[in-house]
Amino acid sequence: MVVYADVLIALNIFVNYFLLLSVKKLIKINVKTLNIAIGALLGGIYALSIFLENVPKPLQLLMNICALSVMTLVSFRPISLKAFLKYILCLFGVNTAFAGIMLAVWLFFSPKGMLYNNSIVYFDIDIKLLAVSTLVCYAVLRVVGLFVKRASPADKTVSVSLVNSGKSITVNALIDTGNTLKDAFTGEGVVIADEAVIKSLFGCSLTAYIEKEKSENKLNIRLIPVNTVSGETVLPAVKT
């Protein structure tokens, strides 16, 4: 069977895009479509490993884990190891489901024009048929995601009261299990707020408030260590 590299890459980019999109919907993370597209592109390039012959199973598994790791880092930009593990496990599950279906089709039906090797699938089929099939798989995953959401515990959105110098505001907050930021002095969790919330609470921007507190020699200013895929930094914070 003749396998065309350009068709192989294009098909896997298409499939990977919807698999990554499924992960985004399942775990409800806000990432740019461009990031997902780049992750799908890298996955499409990795599909060239289908040309490798007699790859030992342990090496094949290691290659797949490395590919999933790169796709996870590029597509979802996890800010912590915990978030990374959550994202990659979800991506692994979605890929396993898709690969399992493809393997079953290949083993039981051996359709003409289909090749499965090194966990990579190649279809010598009409692109319109592949598009419809992929969209159907995506729809199924979305339905599964809706059922999982309904079966999950209570809504993760809660009301939070923030207090500073006698002034209090109440805002809606999302309980983000991927946020592991803590105050280095007290070990308490850190609330990440947008500029509008900060201005409502402090009456000015965070930078202006910190400068004011520093000028009065107050000790409620914090620097929160942050680790991201792009490096390490610190976030300014205020203990209210």
Residue 126 burial (C-beta neighbours within 10 Å; 0-12, 13-18, 19+): exposed
Tens-digit pLDDT profile for residues 149-161: 555 444 567 777 8
Tell me the three-class secondary structure of the chain, residue by residue.
CCCCHHHHHHHHHHHHHHHHHHHHHHHCCCCCHHHHHHHHHHHHHHHHHHHCCCCCHHHHHHHHHHHHHHHHHHHHCCCCHHHHHHHHHHHHHHHHHHHHHHHHHHHHHCCCCEEEECCEEEECCCHHHHHHHHHHHHHHHHHHHHHHHHHCCCCCEEEEEEEECCEEEEEEEECCCCCCCECCCCCCECCCCCHHHHHHHHCCCHHHHHHHHHHCCCCCEEEEEEEECCEEEEEEEECC
Does residue 195 or residue 40 have the better pLDDT? 40
Q: Please report which confidence band the pLDDT of residue 110 belongs to, taking 50, 70 and 90 as the band edges.
A: low
Task: Report, as an integer, the average pLDDT of 107-121.
Answer: 60
Task: Report, as an integer, the average pLDDT of 32-42.
Answer: 91
| pLDDT at position 36 | 92
Q: Which of 75, 80, 64, 62 is nearest to 22 (CA)?
A: 75
| pLDDT at position 70 | 93
pTM (2 d.p.)? 0.50
Reported residue count of the chain is 240
Q: Are 70 and 38 in contact (CB under 8 A)?
A: no
Q: Please report which confidence band the pLDDT of residue 226 belongs to, taking 50, 70 and 90 as the band edges.
A: confident
Please name the residue that has the structure tokens 């923030």: 162
**Out of 1-5, 50-54, 108-112, 231-235, least confident range:** 108-112
Tens-digit pLDDT profile for residues 136-188: 766 776 676 666 555 544 456 777 788 877 788 888 777 766 677 787 777 78
Tens-digit pLDDT profile for residues 46-98: 888 877 778 888 888 898 889 989 999 999 988 888 889 989 998 888 877 77
Give bridge partners of residue 71 from the DSSP assignment: none
| pLDDT at position 69 | 93
Give bridge partners of residue 163 from the DSSP assignment: 168
Tens-digit pLDDT profile for residues 14-28: 888 888 988 888 887
pLDDT at 44 over 80: yes
pLDDT at 233 over 70: yes
Mean pLDDT of the chain: 77
